Structure 1
């Protein structure tokens, strides 16, 4: 268990969901249960304890479920769908029931001997309060699971933008894009076979996702073995986040070099292209809504990426990126060439970047 490395973003998501779970059970007791018959019978002097105590128990429940989500449920995905659902929600239901029983025993034991409390336990389990809390926490657990699953496919920012209708009308923004692509992908796919190759790409993108959260990048899309990320250009220029992300990603792969050699026989290498400019952001309405980015920036960045192999470099950036990246002293910038990109009339200056030792 000590060798298990939990992705940073999953830890943050679990903590956020635990906070929501804790707040949710506290709110439920405060709003829904303070007027029920069982709660009215509680001594007036003890009523104020029920909400914080319920939140403490709720936090413990969420912590158990959260740890299971990080360390157990992922291993159960190899089971059949029905078996996975039975195991997962069986554990969640058991945790909720034990949490409710613990809340009852701790609270009642303040006023009654433990023998009396245990004798009253069967009546509590059959009470409306127990059933109401159980149904609420089970539904709330399912809702949070749906939210967590949604954020795995659509990042939280995209979900919020969709809810508030931010891009209902096309909007222009100045963004910085980075394209990150696996080198020699065709050769690797033929050598490893599609299933093992997919596992390789999946492990690499798991490392990239950690870097994505660390450098506050926005994910536009994964296309095969290529990832497209972006930032608001103001933030990118101040922090050099796109360049930092690329080199940190390469370093993360290097740290797992022995694992990749043992598992796949090779260490993957990625190349990158970075460019910035004005794009139009809008929502495409088809079978599902998608936020899309239109503009020459993406086409240019893709063409710059295609030149990395020609110049035998791992990263190429445009002149726009060179202007602000040169102010960050930990990088060396060098002119690679001036070329006329396909579809353009004027020359484009391309630069390579190397991190100082």
Structure 2
């Protein structure tokens, strides 16, 4: 519940800021008649001050942004798992059209009472009002823009997306990051038992459960590779409040709470093992057809190798000693020394520790 609330609050803040700016821009271009569509009446009195119109635009943006955040949250968290993409788009289109009709009608009434505007807002006014349909098109364009920004943020991470826009990764750049390799235990046996279709459904559901916790723990998915997820944090973000550790146990708790569901549907309760390591590596933007960020360095190889040691030691979460030194486990977790591992091409061994709940 806490993760859902955090996600909604972040989405709400983003939508309020975005739609306030968008609506103020729309009000101002109509005020100055910059769009100049022939035959379309200007809905605002030129006697109103720009400040009054800006307040009107912000009020409209807050109203639309609030309901937009609610709709996006409900679809993202609850309905997208049940609806295919085409049906989801169709339902959202109708929901937003009804939202626009109701919100603009209400706000026009408030604007008439507060600022003295004169609107044609009789019953069914929107059906023949050309200004309203211009507004609908405007809303649709900027709604697509918001969706693009949201997808790009989820694809690259919020900080990385901004850096991509600024061209920071056009050339190889050194950064400190934390990586987690998260892998399904006994995946080969489970795949042989379930068959490839049911097995794929199991993996899909597990990663959907994982996704519910990414935002709350400031994590980014670098790659999904079969039954393995590679998750990344900026170094200071990952160690803050033990985000890199808490994510794993939050995911583990979710799987345990859904034990009955997984047993009923797949006759198995999925368990995951993970390896964590952090340090300096190189980030670079690669590709033109399918642009993405690539990470190069020993950090990734070491995290992958640590994860592979989980089976040997019978542990679910292993972490490198160098990363453990940067964390403050307090009384929530216990670290248990498991020995050292050799890495190909490295002279020094890497100490590893198992992390368990206290």
Per the shorter chain, which TM-score range? 0.7 to 0.9
Residues 1:354 and 1:57: Cα distance change in structure 2 (over 3 Å): same
Decide whether the 8 Å contact of 2:105 with 2:121 is kept in 1.
no
**Residue matched to 1:338:** 340
Q: Give distance in 1, aligned partners of 2:9 and 2:79.
A: 17
Q: Give distance in 2, aligned partners of 1:87 and 1:326.
A: 46
Q: Cα deviations across residues 168-187 of structure 1 (Å, max 9, x unaligned)? A: 22122232222111111122
Q: CA RMSD in A?
A: 3.5
Asked if residue 306 in structure 1 is aligned to residue 308 in structure 2, the reply is yes
Q: Decide which of 275, 279, 285 is 1:277's aligned counterpart.
A: 279
Q: Please state whether the residue corresponding to 1:341 is helix, strand or coil.
A: coil
Instruction: Tell me by how many angstroms 1:167 deviates.
Output: 1.3
Q: Note the 1:206-355 alignment, pairs <5 A.
A: 206-237=208-239, 239-325=241-327, 328-355=330-357
Q: Decide which of 19, 23, 27 is 1:25's aligned counterpart.
A: 23
Unpaired runs of 5+ residues, structure 1, are none
Q: Please state whether the residue corresponding to 2:104 is helix, strand or coil.
A: helix
Of 275-284 and 68-77, more deviation after overlay is shown by 68-77
Q: Give distance in 1, aligned partners of 2:213 and 2:83.
A: 30
Instruction: Tell me by how many angstroms 1:308 deviates.
Output: 1.1
Q: Please state whether the residue corresponding to 1:309 is helix, strand or coil.
A: helix
Asked if residue 67 in structure 1 is aligned to residue 64 in structure 2, the reply is no
Q: Please state whether the residue corresponding to 1:313 is helix, strand or coil.
A: coil
Decide whether the 8 Å contact of 1:279 with 1:296 is kept in 2.
yes
**Residue matched to 1:108:** 112
Decide whether the 8 Å contact of 1:173 with 1:278 is kept in 2.
yes
Q: Please state whether the residue corresponding to 2:311 is helix, strand or coil.
A: coil
Of 89-98 and 138-147, more deviation after overlay is shown by 89-98
Residues 1:48 and 1:190: Cα distance change in structure 2 (over 3 Å): same
Instruction: Tell me by how many angstroms 1:136 deviates.
Output: 1.7
Q: Give distance in 2, aligned partners of 1:312 and 1:72.
A: 39
Decide whether the 8 Å contact of 1:13 with 1:148 is kept in 2.
no
Instruction: Tell me by how many angstroms 1:267 deviates.
Output: 1.9
Unpaired runs of 5+ residues, structure 2, are 34-40
Instruction: Tell me by how many angstroms 1:279 deviates.
Output: 0.9
Instruction: Tell me by how many angstroms 1:52 deviates.
Output: 3.1
Q: Give distance in 2, aligned partners of 1:305 and 1:51.
A: 55
**Residue matched to 2:36:** none
Asked if residue 55 in structure 1 is aligned to residue 65 in structure 2, the reply is no
Q: Give distance in 2, aligned partners of 1:256 and 1:79.
A: 21
Q: Give distance in 1, aligned partners of 2:75 and 2:238.
A: 37
Give aligned pairs, total: 349
Q: Give distance in 2, aligned partners of 1:232 and 1:190.
A: 37
Q: Give distance in 1, aligned partners of 2:322 and 2:335.
A: 13
Instruction: Tell me by how many angstroms 1:82 deviates.
Output: 5.5
Decide whether the 8 Å contact of 1:8 with 1:210 is kept in 2.
no
**What TM-score comes out, normalization by structure 2 length?**
0.81
Instruction: Tell me by how many angstroms 1:126 deviates.
Output: 4.8
**What TM-score comes out, normalization by structure 1 length?**
0.81
Q: Note the 1:135-150 alignment, pairs <5 A.
A: 135-150=137-152
Of 273-282 and 5-14, more deviation after overlay is shown by 5-14
Q: Give distance in 1, aligned partners of 2:115 and 2:332.
A: 65
Instruction: Tell me by how many angstroms 1:80 deviates.
Output: 6.9
Instruction: Tell me by how many angstroms 1:224 deviates.
Output: 1.9
Q: Give distance in 1, aligned partners of 2:64 and 2:210.
A: 31
Q: Cα deviations across residues 179-235 of structure 1 (Å, max 9, x unaligned)? A: 111111122223233333333223322332333222222332222221222333345
Decide whether the 8 Å contact of 2:283 with 2:293 is kept in 1.
yes
**Residue matched to 1:186:** 188
Q: Give distance in 2, aligned partners of 1:151 and 1:355.
A: 32
Decide whether the 8 Å contact of 2:31 with 2:46 is kept in 1.
no
Instruction: Tell me by how many angstroms 1:159 deviates.
Output: 1.9
